[in-house]
Structure 1
Amino acid sequence: MQKNTLVNYLSVENISKSFGERTLFDKISFGINKDQKIAFIAKNGSGKTTIMNILNGIDDPDTGQVVIRKDIRMAFLSQNHNLQDELTIEESIFASDNETLKIIEAYENALENPEDEEVYQKAFDGMDQHNAWDFETQYKQILFKLKLEDFKLKVKNLSGGQKKRLSLAIILINRPDLLILDEPTNHLDLEMIEWLESYFAKENITLFMVTHDRFFLERVCNEIIELDNGKLYQYKGNYSYYLEKKEERLISENASVDKAQNLFVKELAWMRRQPKARTTKSKSRQDDFYVIKEKAESRRRENVVELEINMERMGSKIIELHKVSKKFNDKVILDEFSFDFQRGARIGIIGKNGTGKSTFLNLLTSTIPADSGKVVVGDTIKIGYYTQSGINPKPGQRVIDIIKEYGEYIPLTKGKIISASQLLERFLFDSKKQYDYVEKLSGGELKRLYLCTVLIQNPNFLILDEPTNDLDIVTLNVLESFLLDYPGCLLVVSHDRYFMDKIVDHLFVFRGEGEIENFPGNYSDFRAYEDSADVAQKEENKAEKKDWKQNNPTGNLSFNEQKEYQKIEREIKDLEVQKIAIEQLFSDGKVDDADISAKAKELENIINKMEDKEERWFELSAKIEG
């Protein structure tokens, strides 16, 4: 039997990097081989971004070199996009050097000018010769999955999240040999994250990525490289394997690292308790519901409290929502929503982007008013609100000064306290770092400090809006440990499924159009419950598809008619997508007054084209049946 040989794509050879007296890493080496899916893990501020920039030629190492295999195509998804503002989504896709995309672009242009039969026939033949039909379907599917349906929208009119998703789409469509990703799940909702996870898990793509999404690490990566205190450690396995081997390494290295070791022991124990796969059996949904509810209620009692926080007393009234409604133009966020928060509530909020999750938090905190209904906050309730906007420190402030502006300590039971300095240390700011100037902190370190300013105020109702963005995995473990001991009410918006699974036992599922579903369980419970309902539907769809294929043979058509028949089907689907996209813009109120007439005309043209093509489709269908 022939032995498989490793194909090396990129080698990092003895690279070092320092900034002044601070050494980030010294003479580290590693390689990336074909078909590896590698995650790169490091604490915030320890050099992740620097290494990513060195790999991509944006920065140079002080010593050593990066050797890239000749002729491999490499792509980098960074936190900063380099798109052209005046191009549309579709033009941005076609702006690459991909030959197949050039052929599809020529075909799309020919479709807009069908009267030039020679050009159209040449474009159509080109699609056939290069098997571009499937490629076209695949790239449009990627755009739809990443919610980029309006192909004519200009880059300058996209949100920051949309630009990140467009950059990701361009990379996926061009299928480079080596793909380097910096936090690929940021700006994606849960549905998109799960699709991307599934895409990477099944595709033969070579990946090197920085991500804090631990489910993503578990299900996609087959190797983990960790940078810890300037040294590199490699683990040939997924996230749970990494936890196990890291625990063994910490035990053997030094008994003084008990605190860090305990975090990894807890994390590993939690991983081992999780089900290995989602349920795929279509059981009674009512039985499922009560089993999940009972499990969710018992899960919280499993935690051994180590940090007994002495919060201010909570009265009988927490926060009550009485028939609260809110909409922006025609977009409904809440529709007479009522809910009475109870002591110890630990609720996660999930839903697609744009369904109103952050708006809901702003209503609770009176940051924005409700259109109707009442939000009643109990007299004893002290809200701590972690928003996505972060903090704006003054120039020249030190880390310890920032936190002391908000509080000196958190009271514990039996008269003990956690001082501001001790809280900072718990969140990985050592005594030296506490006296650093704030402007020297990385983005992730600033988020960490912001969290500490919210927690030091000792709120009894804690609201967190995307707290895990830009935090490294070690900090996430610390935060989860703190929140598991937190005795107050907790309300969290997050796309981090792993984080949500550990700290909440109830969900608000934002479905859109004001529909909010109460679900008693964490995210994995919810997915298992949803999947149990989907199985029967999938079987039904499969049967319908089979019937359609049996009832739609193309044997009675000539070769050219078969090509036309298939082409018309594709074109009708494309037009349907364009029609839905424009209708959605009108529905969401996103069409400027000046553009209403043009958009209405565009929609009318699409509908007319659809009717013409459907008429021809029926003609050909009649020949098939004849």
Structure 2
Amino acid sequence: MSELIISLINTSFGYDNNPIFKDLSLYLYRGDKVCLVGKNGCGKSSLLKLLAKIHEMDSGEMHVRNGVNIGYLCQDAKIDSSKTIYEYVLEGYENLEETKYLADMVIANLGLKGNKTMEHLSGGKLRRVALAKTLVSQPDVLLLDEPTNHLDISAIEWLQSYINSNKELTVLCISHDREFLNAISNRIFWIDRGQFYIHNKGYSDLDNFMQQIFEQEEAKLRVMAKKMEAENHWLAYGVTARRKRNQRRLKDLFDLRNKLKAERARNKQLAVDMKLPALSSGQMSKLVLEFDDVTLGYNDVSPPKVIFKNFTARIMQGEKVGVVGRNGAGKTTLIKMILGDIEPLEGNFRKGVTVTISYADQHRKSIDLDKSLWENLCPEGGDHVNVNGTMLHVGSYLKRFLFKNDQFLAKASTLSGGELNRLLLAKALAIPGNLLILDEPTNDLDMDSLEMLEEMLTNYNGTVLIVSHDRAFLDDLVTRTIVISDDRIDDIIGGYSDYLRETSNKAQIKKEAAKKIEVKEEAKPKQQTKLSYKDQRDLDMIPSQIDELSTKILSLEEELSDPDLYAKHPDKYNQKSEELEKLKAEIDRLELRWLEVVEIQEGLK
């Protein structure tokens, strides 16, 4: 077991007599890469601020190993914008030459220029400056609150590599970017309904972990109150239903992608000299956007800046299109052209005659912070909104976006970043239109909000254009992806992973294809009719083994709760902590094995 470097013991914290968490205990070890998950408002950011010693706990203890340096990236860093990036990032260092070498590397990979003053930097770039300063401090523990916001995909992949290459670095990270969490994490801290759960596997196992917790709760509640049993059954069903819904959604998505590939193949056969094939009158009514040999850029700079050249494509009714590219590649410029703010340098661009646009920008300019949620959705008064031709009461509509009754008349300025994004999406979807353009819609959203957004966009009847750096979100939703890079533009059927596969080493793909050998169909194994001896033995014995381990865990947790143990016997404390983690890991292993055997048994029935 790695070295214990931070521990919270029986910690309680809240605001104005409103408890956020109570009697929380957690342990961070050197090299841990932990994702911190939970709903908006559950206390994730507050926990990071406690660990960063920005907030003080109401009760409990915090122990940090001597010499451990903690770096913290908050969501709303306060920066002196009169300085250059170098001056801010290198502030307080004595050995500037040695530190500047690291600063140059970090600043460049985050898409920044060190000599530039920060006075006119956007909020997104200032956040990248704050991340650079945090990384340059070379912390032993890195506390990250939404680090991928405002980063392009290349910067996110660099940050992933930086974290994964630093084996001794301990990371506790809050992020809506599931692909990022999949790539970096080896443990999960989950805050749910005031409870704190720890899982010694990465984010990719979160759904399984949640399902186990819900099933365990359901089993306990069966011997408790019937009222609580019914509530928890709904929770367990919710995860199961979500899985089934996702499986259905993915099947529909793959079917649609295959259909689009077939359509594109037919269009390529018809195309001559890069000219688009003519549309029939029926197809014309379904045309949303058409790019005919379009070159996009700016003539008002010297030399003129070209973003991409000779782009030819059509977007038809009902398509869901992702747009990706590094920061500054031209994603926003493409949106400006679609909105009619600028014209292409060359070629022809047109919108379908019946196209009306709803646009949700990442800066939330359409949200009036001084008005209530209700007033933002009904600026002319009234109590109903028009959603896809259906009039809905504004209260029931806000509930779809996970808002509570007591928030309806609250000012938008009281909302968190994730809640503001949900309000922005609610407003965009309530504007009658058949082309929805979303600019970084997943920023600050928790898991439940992401699920809600994916479900709503899947069921949206119109056409969707999504600018996003969230690779998992794009993979789950879009039918095609437009990639802008190095004055060129690629149009790929599928999500971001499909783009990576298509643009990977084609020569290697051909080489592998040439070496393929036909594999004879293997004889089908004999149908299994009963559990093997080992499976049956595990099924019978694991429950008692788990009970025995649970008793040991309770005993160890009681010993570790002694506040004098760490102060007087740190070696014994570390030994007990390591033993506790091993026992918890063994219970996780046994539970997974038992569930596996149960599934095998059910398959035999």
TM (norm. structure 2) is 0.69
Shift of 1:30: 2.1
Whether 2:183 is the aligned partner of 1:219: answer yes
Moved more, 340-349 or 367-376: 367-376
Structural RMSD (CA): 3.6
Shift of 1:274: 13
Q: Residue 16 of structure 1: which of 13, 24, 30 is its match?
A: 13
Shift of 1:470: 1.4
Q: What secondary structure, in the 3-state scheme, does the structure 2 residue paired with 1:247 have?
A: helix
Moved more, 358-367 or 8-17: 8-17
Q: Residue 243 of structure 1: which of 204, 207, 211 is its match?
A: 207
Shift of 1:372: 5.4
Shift of 1:364: 1.0
Distance of 2:507 and 2:414 partners within structure 1: 50
Q: CA 1:231 to 1:464, structure 2 compared with 1: closer, same or farther past 3 Å?
A: same
Whether 2:294 is the aligned partner of 1:318: answer no
Shift of 1:353: 0.8
Work out whether residues 10 and 22 of structure 2, in 8 Å CA contact, stay in contact via their aligned partners in 1.
no
Q: CA 1:323 to 1:255, structure 2 compared with 1: closer, same or farther past 3 Å?
A: farther
Q: State the AA in 1 paired with 2:494.
A: G
Match of 1:403 in 2: 377
Work out whether residues 366 and 424 of structure 2, in 8 Å CA contact, stay in contact via their aligned partners in 1.
no
Work out whether residues 361 and 438 of structure 2, in 8 Å CA contact, stay in contact via their aligned partners in 1.
yes
Question: What are the superposed Cα offsets for residues 428-484 of structure 1, whole Å, 9 maximum, x if unpaired?
Answer: 113333343433221211111111111123432111111011111210111011111
Whether 2:496 is the aligned partner of 1:523: answer yes
Distance of 2:462 and 2:186 partners within structure 1: 39
Shift of 1:354: 0.7
Match of 2:68 in 1: 72
Moved more, 332-341 or 181-190: 332-341
Whether 2:155 is the aligned partner of 1:192: answer yes
Distance of 1:9 and 1:169 partners within structure 2: 24
Work out whether residues 362 and 440 of structure 2, in 8 Å CA contact, stay in contact via their aligned partners in 1.
yes
Q: State the AA in 2 paired with 1:11.
A: L
Question: What are the superposed Cα offsets for residues 99-158 of structure 1, whole Å, 9 maximum, x if unpaired?
Answer: xx44537xx9xxxxxxxxxxxxxxxxxxxxxxxxxxx4x65443332223x443334454
Q: CA 1:451 to 1:394, structure 2 compared with 1: closer, same or farther past 3 Å?
A: closer
Pairs within 5 Å for 1:468-547:
468-513=442-487, 515-533=488-506
Q: State the AA in 2 paired with 1:420.
A: V
Match of 1:623 in 2: none
Distance of 1:262 and 1:244 partners within structure 2: 13
Unaligned runs of 5+ in 1: 109-135, 276-289, 299-312, 538-626
Pairs within 5 Å for 1:405-484:
405=379, 408-409=384-385, 419-484=393-458
Moved more, 51-60 or 395-404: 395-404
Work out whether residues 218 and 239 of structure 1, in 8 Å CA contact, stay in contact via their aligned partners in 2.
yes
Distance of 1:213 and 1:182 partners within structure 2: 11
Whether 2:50 is the aligned partner of 1:54: answer yes
Q: CA 1:344 to 1:335, structure 2 compared with 1: closer, same or farther past 3 Å?
A: same
Work out whether residues 5 and 68 of structure 2, in 8 Å CA contact, stay in contact via their aligned partners in 1.
no
Work out whether residues 243 and 267 of structure 1, in 8 Å CA contact, stay in contact via their aligned partners in 2.
no
Shift of 1:262: 5.8
Q: State the AA in 2 paired with 1:522.
A: G
Q: CA 1:507 to 1:258, structure 2 compared with 1: closer, same or farther past 3 Å?
A: farther
Distance of 1:535 and 1:159 partners within structure 2: 42
Q: CA 1:439 to 1:19, structure 2 compared with 1: closer, same or farther past 3 Å?
A: farther
Distance of 2:373 and 2:509 partners within structure 1: 55
Match of 2:279 in 1: none
Distance of 2:32 and 2:249 partners within structure 1: 26
Distance of 2:186 and 2:149 partners within structure 1: 21
Question: What are the superposed Cα offsets for residues 363-407 of structure 1, whole Å, 9 maximum, x if unpaired?
Answer: 112244445555433333232111122156557643234323488
Shift of 1:336: 5.0
Q: CA 1:274 to 1:216, structure 2 compared with 1: closer, same or farther past 3 Å?
A: farther
Q: State the AA in 2 paired with 1:154.
A: T
Q: CA 1:396 to 1:492, structure 2 compared with 1: closer, same or farther past 3 Å?
A: closer
Q: CA 1:355 to 1:489, structure 2 compared with 1: closer, same or farther past 3 Å?
A: same
Q: CA 1:396 to 1:161, structure 2 compared with 1: closer, same or farther past 3 Å?
A: closer
Distance of 1:89 and 1:417 partners within structure 2: 50
Q: What secondary structure, in the 3-state scheme, does the structure 1 residue paired with 2:454 have?
A: helix
Percent identity over the alignment?
28
Q: CA 1:486 to 1:202, structure 2 compared with 1: closer, same or farther past 3 Å?
A: same
Work out whether residues 244 and 268 of structure 1, in 8 Å CA contact, stay in contact via their aligned partners in 2.
no
Q: What secondary structure, in the 3-state scheme, does the structure 1 residue paired with 2:444 have?
A: coil
Shift of 1:86: 5.3
Shift of 1:272: 9.2
Distance of 2:260 and 2:242 partners within structure 1: 19
Shift of 1:16: 1.9
Q: What secondary structure, in the 3-state scheme, does the structure 2 residue paired with 1:318 have?
A: strand
Distance of 2:162 and 2:247 partners within structure 1: 25
Question: What are the superposed Cα offsets for residues 12-42 of structure 1, whole Å, 9 maximum, x if unpaired?
Answer: 532220346x443334332322221111112
Q: CA 1:402 to 1:102, structure 2 compared with 1: closer, same or farther past 3 Å?
A: closer
Distance of 1:222 and 1:151 partners within structure 2: 33
Distance of 1:441 and 1:529 partners within structure 2: 41
Unaligned runs of 5+ in 2: 219-228, 263-282, 511-605
Moved more, 41-50 or 261-270: 261-270
Distance of 1:502 and 1:482 partners within structure 2: 13
Distance of 1:342 and 1:296 partners within structure 2: 11
Shift of 1:266: 6.1
Match of 2:331 in 1: 357
Pairs within 5 Å for 1:335-354:
335=309, 337-354=311-328
Q: CA 1:534 to 1:238, structure 2 compared with 1: closer, same or farther past 3 Å?
A: farther
Shift of 1:345: 1.4
Distance of 1:494 and 1:265 partners within structure 2: 28
Work out whether residues 346 and 505 of structure 1, in 8 Å CA contact, stay in contact via their aligned partners in 2.
yes
Q: CA 1:530 to 1:320, structure 2 compared with 1: closer, same or farther past 3 Å?
A: closer
Q: What secondary structure, in the 3-state scheme, does the structure 1 residue paired with 2:505 have?
A: helix
